């Protein structure tokens, strides 16, 4: 039966295609959980972003789609900066582990400046909501 798919496995839920999809789904879910360490590890930041998400949903419910879209863009920017901080921190730790202290120091400075940019972006997002 080389090159043929057995008929009894064609619609079998345990067939290898479904296992691949389940595996990919679990992998995607795990990536979502691992992503965002900066937000997860900072309750204040997480709270602030969660509040912005709630306001965005309320805007959409009120059919204020332009404001919701603008706020969504701000939130995406904040999340992108948080992801950048996570990446920088990972590279900093790797450099330190490899005793590449000059690179680790540069990564530390980059992490700090990105953190300031995240705080500014969050302040900007919150200020648009207060208006």
Q: Average pLDDT, stretch 95-116?
A: 96
Which one, of 55, 130, 48, lies nearest residue 81 by Cα? 48
Kindly state whether residue 86 falls inside one of the protein's structural domains: yes
| pLDDT tens-digit readout, 40-86 | 888 999 999 999 999 999 999 999 999 999 999 999 999 999 999 99
Is the pLDDT at 32 greater than 90? The verdict is: no
Are 38 and 86 within 8 A, CB to CB? yes
Number of domains in the chain: 1
Kindly state whether residue 64 falls inside one of the protein's structural domains: yes
Kindly state whether residue 29 falls inside one of the protein's structural domains: no
Kindly state whether residue 28 falls inside one of the protein's structural domains: no
Is the pLDDT at 7 greater than 50? The verdict is: no
Kindly state whether residue 121 falls inside one of the protein's structural domains: yes
Given this model, what pLDDT does residue 18 score?
42
Kindly state whether residue 6 falls inside one of the protein's structural domains: no
Q: Which domain holds residue 93?
A: 42-130
- Residue 92: HSE in the Cβ half-sphere, 13 Å Cα cutoff: 14
Within 8 A by CB and 6+ apart from 66, the residues are: none
Given this model, what pLDDT does residue 36 score?
58
Within 8 A by CB and 6+ apart from 55, the residues are: 71, 129
Which one, of 130, 88, 76, 77, lies nearest residue 113 by Cα? 88
Kindly state whether residue 58 falls inside one of the protein's structural domains: yes
Kindly state whether residue 33 falls inside one of the protein's structural domains: no
Given this model, what pLDDT does residue 94 score?
97
């Amino acid at each position: 039966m080389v090159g043929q798919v057995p008929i009894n496995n064609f619609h079998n839920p345990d067939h290898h295609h479904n296992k691949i999809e389940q595996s990919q789904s679990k992998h995607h879910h795990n990536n979502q959980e691992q992503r965002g360490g900066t937000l997860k590890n900072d309750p204040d930041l997480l709270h602030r972003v969660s509040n912005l998400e709630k306001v965005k949903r309320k805007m959409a419910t009120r059919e204020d789609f332009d404001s919701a879209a603008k706020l969504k863009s701000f939130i995406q920017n904040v999340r992108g900066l948080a992801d950048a901080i996570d990446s920088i921190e990972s590279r900093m730790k790797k450099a330190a582990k490899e005793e590449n202290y000059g690179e680790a120091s540069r990564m530390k400075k980059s992490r700090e400046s990105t953190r300031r940019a995240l705080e500014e972006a969050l302040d900007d997002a919150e200020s648009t909501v207060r208006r």
